[in-house]
A = this chain, B = another copy of it.
Amino acid sequence: MKIPPVKGTRDFYPPDMVRRNWIIDGWKKVSVRNGFEEYDGPIFEYLKMFQIKSGDEIVEQLFSFEDRGGRDLALRPEITPTLARMVNQQINSLPKPIKWFSVPRLFRAERPQKGRLREFFQWNIDIIGADDNVLADAEVIFTTIDYLQEVGLSSKDVKVKMSSRKLLAAVLRNIGIPEDKHDALYTLLDKKAKLPPKTFTEMLDKQVHDSKQANKIKAFMELESVPHVEKMFSRDNEVVMANDELAEVRHRLDQMGVADYCIFDPSIVRGLAYYTGVVFEVHDVVGDLRAICGGGRFDNLLHDFGGPLIPATGMGMGDCVLQILFEQKGLIDKNLPEKQLDYFVATVDKPLNIGMADGVVEKTEEDIVVQLTAKLRLAGYFATFSYKAGGLSKQLKEASDRNAGKCIIIGEEFKNNQLVVKDMATGKQELVDYDKFLSGLKS
């Protein structure tokens, strides 16, 4: 019976797995050198946990199920709720700031689209409980950029678009939008770049009936720099303070040497209500892909999950859009680590006999190959032999194709207990006593 894979999922054949590992290993390496420690939680949690941060609408986008004990569970669509749960559980014993990262596998019960699958990986970095909010926001953005630079995405390829939810809230208040309308507006304003201008204007007009107010919102979202905001709202202390905070984050990023990646963009909103300060997204400069990542400050997160009020800031980057961008830029294949085969063990005269061996056999060349390969592996080397029947030249070609560092040849010389060791890079061969070779492996 032949059964297909489920749509929106991926099979990772070995060449795909090498790519997946390259992406994930890069995320891990950059996290560690920036001082983040790895954590993970379960693949499924109580369904209601995912409603706290994202509201009831999230239920529609979840794979949920009931276990045999009648509990409503769901596959995690994000790891932030798990992070909040785990940090709250140990809030008193964890040293601050908590700098954690994770590379969870996540799930969304949506119709698969380009760059958006039902199963994917997402890099998450979070800083919780730092005293200096500006420095923490800057470190999260810096770490994101450190990864982009690591994989060869320059400031000509991608930009970190930054704004501030605090600034947007202050602007909306300044314009006269009542507080209870803000959350719905965030969701709409977040979609501005994805909507045709006319559609956006119509939708905005439905939420903001006063056209002067609507125009002011649109004007703000098109401002090009922090000084422009200061000019437009110079007399509003709340706007000025939020603006200053954003300028300070920008100043830190300048100090950190990555300012060329960063631009101010007040149209960056992030849809969810839970952001409370700086928000940012990374976009490719060509601009035809979804956001590569998004993040920002969310100081109420732990409190919303039953914990104390502690500042927090973080970032999430999925692997699907990233992989499309890497392919567009030709960045994966040239960066993949070379396969390291330390030893290829070959025979001269007798092709490897891959038929049945007798119960009790004399030591044939094949036996030596198996024995030596096993000893090399036990000593920690990546060693192999040919599974195909074929003479020495075919075996040497296979060794070369597999990028072997050295090829050991079992031949005539073995009667004198000697191996031929060929350096595949230089082509140089030398005779080595078998016992000396083995004792050399152990030391």
Q: Residues of A with Cβ closer than 8 Å to B?
A: 1-6, 9-14, 17-18, 20-21, 32-35, 37-46, 48-49, 52, 63-65, 67-68, 71, 73, 75, 82, 85-86, 88-90, 96-97, 100, 105, 107, 109, 119, 130-132, 134-135, 142-143, 146, 149-150, 244, 247-248, 251-252, 255-258, 304-307, 342, 354-361, 367, 370-371, 374-375, 377-378, 380-384, 387
B38 and A17 contact, CB distance less than 8 A = yes
Q: Whose C-beta in chain B lies nearest to the C-beta of A48?
A: B3
User: Is the Cβ of B383 less than 8 Å from the Cβ of A33?
Assistant: yes
Asked if B88 and A2 sit within 8 Å, CB to CB, the answer is: yes
Q: Is the interface of A mostly helix, strand, loop or mixed?
A: mixed
Contacts of A44 in B (CB 8 A): 6, 9, 63, 75, 119
12 residue pairs from A and B, CB less than 8 Å apart: A3-B52, A6-B46, A9-B42, A11-B42, A11-B82, A12-B40, A17-B40, A20-B40, A32-B382, A146-B377, A150-B380, A255-B371
Complex Cα gap A35–B374 (Å): 11
- Contact (A38, B65) CB under 8 Å given A33-B383, A85-B3, A378-B149: no
Q: How far is B60's CA from A56's CA once the two chains are assembled, in angstroms?
A: 30
Inter-chain pairs besides A12-B41, A255-B367, 15 sampled, C-beta below 8 Å: A1-B48, A1-B305, A3-B45, A10-B42, A11-B89, A13-B86, A13-B90, A32-B382, A33-B383, A35-B384, A63-B65, A131-B354, A142-B374, A248-B359, A256-B370
